Amino acid sequence: MSGFLQSLARIGSYRGLPFAVAGAVLMVPVSPFAFAAAVSVETDSRVRALLALLAIAVLTGLLGLLGPVRRLGIGLANLLLGTTVPAPAGRPDAGSRLRSGLWLALHTLVSGVLLTVLAFLALGLLVPAVWLAGGQDRISLVWDDVPLGAWTVPFGVVLLAGAVVLVAGATRAFRAGATALLGPSDRERAALAERRAAVLAQRNRLARELHDSIGHTLTTSTIQAAAAAELVEADPAQVRRALGTIEEASRSALEDLDHVLGLLREEPAAKEPQRTLAEVDVLAVRAREAGLDVRLAVTGPVAALPAAVSREGYRIVQEGLTNALRHAGPGAVDVRVEAGPDVLAIAVVNGLADAGPRTGRHGLAGLAERVEALRGELAAGPDGERWRLRATIPLRARA
């Protein structure tokens, strides 16, 4: 009860009033039919009015069985009541249609009653207004010829308080009804859960894309910048080559970033880079310019690989060279790409540094997820005095 009284001070507690007005507007299309049906019944005028209101509720309830009307009702409740009912996923089932029909009937019925009561309360507020204006000493409303006096002031205050409490209570009732009757069915909840899972999966994929691309670029640029700083006077030509490598790597990373941000905005990206193993020699050139002794060997029809496999293969080599730039010990870095008839095999092997265990292996975890999604296997770890990263991806379905 205390929570309800505290809510009376919030403007949002009176959203039920415009929502009731919207319910009255929804009555307009069916009102002529409802009044025609009520007038055809031989009875008292007050009974006819009640029958007309019930007929309006039934007719609007039938309209609520339509799928688009349910979507409209959800949008109206979220807009005017501040609810967070999710939009329906796909075509509504029979149960959802019945619930939305019941809700629309209750919406119009309660709105009509609420606005009628508020109209009588507003009429009652004329009593203290007439007395305060000094226009007359007696008034005829519900009672016959009632004398006016100071009692009209608290009477008006009670009516106003009653109107406030009535609207706030109606707002709560509207919100509860909208959530219960317009909320998703079990099938729609399952569809929403699948949609959220798909969004999370895409976010994880985008995180891996950014880690692979931006991490590789920053590592290469940092090493090149450090080398350029040492050779700025001794070998200007080498400095220019290093700056060119930084520029090219940064441009490539910006393309990746532009693509990922376009996906996050749910808009078509300005550029959609599709780097594949056909460009693996570019990675080797950049790594050599960064100071690595890269020995690249590519065998088999790499250009004929499936697009998804070739893209993931490119990322595997990129991650292997990035790790080599950060952690490799002395000696050459061997990169082998073998595209066979049934399997794509990739290996990146480099010397072990003496700096102890490696940290920050999020890139390898992302690679493992990529390879697993393609039904492949990935292994990374020390092999004697060398660090070996090896991935195998099947090119044909396993029997």
Which pLDDT score, from 0 to 100, does residue 268 have?
46
Does the pLDDT value for residue 398 go beyond 80?
A: no
Distance, in Å, from the CA atom of 62 to the CA atom of 208, rounded to the nearest integer, reads: 50
Find the mean pLDDT for residues 192-200.
72
Question: What is the CA angle 297-303-308, rounded to 5?
Answer: 105
Tell me the two tokens of residue 15.
């959203």
Q: What pLDDT digit, counting tens, does each position of 310-325 carry?
A: 888 998 998 888 888 8
Which pLDDT score, from 0 to 100, does residue 309 have?
86
Does the pLDDT value for residue 163 go beyond 70?
A: yes
Q: Where are the alpha helices (DSSP H) in the chain?
A: 2-7, 16-27, 31-39, 45-63, 67-81, 94-124, 126-133, 152-182, 186-231, 236-264, 280-289, 307-327, 362-373
Which pLDDT score, from 0 to 100, does residue 270 have?
44
**Which of 35-39, 208-212, 355-359, 375-379 is the least confident region?**
355-359
Tokens 């339509």 locate to: 66
Does the pLDDT value for residue 271 go beyond 50?
A: no
Does the pLDDT value for residue 264 go beyond 70?
A: no
Confidence of residue 189 (pLDDT cuts 50, 70, 90): confident
Does the pLDDT value for residue 353 go beyond 80?
A: no
Distance, in Å, from the CA atom of 190 to the CA atom of 188, rounded to the nearest integer, reads: 5
Confidence of residue 224 (pLDDT cuts 50, 70, 90): low
Which pLDDT score, from 0 to 100, does residue 399 have?
44
Chain-centroid distance of CA 355 in Å reads 43
Find the mean pLDDT for residues 339-345.
90
Q: Are 153 and 125 in contact (CB under 8 A)?
A: no
Does the pLDDT value for residue 2 go beyond 60?
A: yes
Q: Is 130 exposed, middle or buried (0-12, 13-18, 19+ CB in 10 A)?
A: middle
> DSSP of 296-348, one letter per residue?
EEEES-GGGS-HHHHHHHHHHHHHHHHHHHHH--SS-EEEEEEE-SSEEEEEE
Top-confidence residue, 187 or 316: 316
Q: Kindly report the CATH number that applies to the domain delimited by 277-399.
A: 3.30.565.10
Residues 6+ apart with CB under 8 A from 345: 336, 337, 338, 390, 391, 392
**Which of 3-12, 24-33, 121-130, 294-303 is the least confident region?**
3-12
The domains of the chain are located at: 2-184, 198-273, 277-399
Find the mean pLDDT for residues 135-147.
63
**Which of 6-15, 63-72, 176-185, 250-259 is the least confident region?**
250-259
Q: What pLDDT digit, counting tens, does each position of 42-85 carry?
A: 777 778 878 887 888 888 888 888 878 888 888 899 999 988 88
Q: Kindly report the CATH number that applies to the domain delimited by 198-273.
A: 1.20.5
Find the mean pLDDT for residues 239-259.
68
Tokens 């079990």 locate to: 186
